[in-house]
Structure 1
Amino acid sequence: MLNVDGVHPDAGPVKRIATATIGVGLVVLAIKYYAYYVTGSVALYSDALESIVNVVAGIIALWAVSVSFAPADSDHHFGHTKAEYFSAVVEGALIIVAALLILREAWDAYQSPRALDAPMLGIAINSSATVINLVWAQFLIRAGRARRSPALAADGRHIMADVVTSVGVLAGLAIASVTGWHVLDPIMAALVAVNILREGWHVVTSSLSGLMDQAMEPGEEERVRSIISGHAEGALEVHDLKTRIAGRALFIEFHMVVPEAMTVGDAHEICDRIEEALQGAFAHATVQIHVEPEGEIKQTGVPVV
């Protein structure tokens, strides 16, 4: 639902969050690169490289959410909400490229392992960046779910994966500094790359599902059925329920059978009642109801209470 000026109420907050993500990413990148600078660790280098991807992905996400909030026009009757899925696909591709670059650096370091400079200082510096990422990732995931933003949610999941790999890197470097097993540094970098590849694959596949007009989760669709059933008094049956998700937008459509003698006005009143209930439960829902006469009853649809 749009404001009186035609702007979606979530547009401002989501854009501000996307902009802040870029700023947080730049701060974390600077901290992680400094940790690499003081140690020469290829594992910390890989961690910093992933932060570069976070910044680039944040810029793409900002563009995507700006486009996604554009109102429907003559060429896009259902709006532009799917733009955020393209952002998530590009982010997944960038993650995979970063992983391949890290693997190359890890292989070179594995062939010529060396002692690290000031490893404990590097660990301390990198830890501060990891804490920042942890807090921001949790915030992004919650914001993405609350505002039905695939771009923010994908950013949050990626940064959370970065947190997990950073913890692994720090643990590996701590062991290497204590034991003198310098080969652990490139091995940890390679493990970071593998984890990044896994996360990149997850981001791409989940975004492609959205581009393919994925239906609601079974539990949520059952909730839709329950709401329809509880607010369709006067109708005979509801059937052919279909749902699809497009970013923050949700589309619900179905056929409603009414008695032959029912007036158009009475049928319209039932439709309004159901639509209001569904939009009250699902803030971004667009509901389409096709009214049919009694002869179209199938006895296979949603029972009416």
Structure 2
Amino acid sequence: MRKSNNLSIKIKGKLVEFNEPLVMGIINTTPDSFYNQSRKIYVDDALFQAKKMLKEGAKILDIGGYSSRPGADHVSIKEELERVLPVIEEISSKYPDAILSIDTFRSEVAEKSIDAGAAIINDISGGSLDENMYNKVGQLAVPYIMMHMRGTPQTMQTLTDYPNGVTHGVMHYFSDKKNEFLNAGGLDLIIDPGFGFAKTLDQNYELLRELEMLHEFNLPILVGVSRKSMITKKLKINSEEALNGTSIINTIALQKGAQILRVHDVKEAVECVKLTQETLLF
């Protein structure tokens, strides 16, 4: 098992250390998220979910208004903003100490969400879908989650060719993107290997087996496998039945050194962290 190497990021002027892994709770303000229990399109519903997740131990709440499931419908910037800003403003008002992340690949949405109270930008495209994203992150001086993906949510599942293996492809991607990000003035960086994005079922498990290789970058690693098809297809179940499989994969990711778990089910993920930490070798 791998212990975090004294990694830290600065959020809202405070140093957040990864002495133990953190849990990020998902709040989707979309009507078409692949897991329907995570859909919170009304502000009151999202606020209730935020309260529940914070009570269960979530350290970060990730707010998203553009579904990234394979083949998801395109959403305009205007509509995305209308979905996320009221939720961010209300949660920030009710829970000012909560750390909110905006799940978007658009710099305009990112900037307005930070102004509304978010403190982290979570970009599924790693800057590939908005050429202004890295510069904007540098200007805002906030942590940035860079995920590995190819294409768009509409095309990504056709882009799964990795001649030298998926892990090598992911590492090459982060090597290039990290330099671009830093050159644009970015500071705190978190990497997400993007399970389920431009990867076949077998490639997801290959990447999980080799996850420790990503520690070469000496950056916090976020893993998001919650109720995804890499679990449901393998077990021939639906997303509503995938909590146990999610906990198992999360535990494996923690054993391989993941510092953040992005999940729909906070209580169970926090339990994974607590129990896994008990077996940590010093």
Q: Which has the higher helix share?
A: 1
Q: Which has the higher strand share?
A: 2
**TM-score range, shorter-chain basis?**
under 0.3
- Greater relative contact order (Cα < 8 A, sep 6+): 2
Of structures 1 and 2, the larger Rg is shown by 1
